[in-house]
Amino acid sequence: MHTSTEAETARKLTWISEGAAGRATAPEVEIAIYFCFITDEGQAVAEQLGNAFGLSAEDMRAHPHALIGSVDEVCEQLEKRREMFGISYVTLFAEPLVPGSSSILDFAPVVERLAGR
């Protein structure tokens, strides 16, 4: 978790950009979401997960491999990450990796809201 924080992801993507310099097309960037919690209790979930990984709740909510919050918050997180990192798509697992986390069906309103954007 500590090697994939927001700052570390930015650093890694710099390597990719530098390595792809001069190519006809930019690389497409995907990221897997390991922790997805569509909830109105995002702060509490982020605190709990952060404590488990030795991260702050803020770091957990900003973590590129986590989406935590309401549908509106998760949409904002995804749009911010697209702008910040150039992430063009995310992958969620069909079965949640963490007990109590959201399913792909819980994620459907996010997809609906962001479709075509």
Distance separating the N- and C-terminal Cα atoms of the chain: 29
Q: What is the pLDDT of residues 10-60, one digit of tens each?
A: 999 999 989 989 999 888 999 999 999 999 999 999 999 999 999 999 999
Runs of H (alpha helix) within 38-94: 42-53, 57-62, 71-85
Q: What is the pLDDT of residues 85-106, one digit of tens each?
A: 999 889 998 887 787 888 888 9
What sign does the CA torsion over 51, 56, 61, 65 have? negative
Taking the C-alpha atoms of residue 36 and residue 99, their distance in angstroms, rounded to an integer, is: 11
Taking the C-alpha atoms of residue 18 and residue 93, their distance in angstroms, rounded to an integer, is: 30
- The pLDDT value recorded for residue 62 is 95
pLDDT range class, residue 9, cuts 50, 70, 90? very high
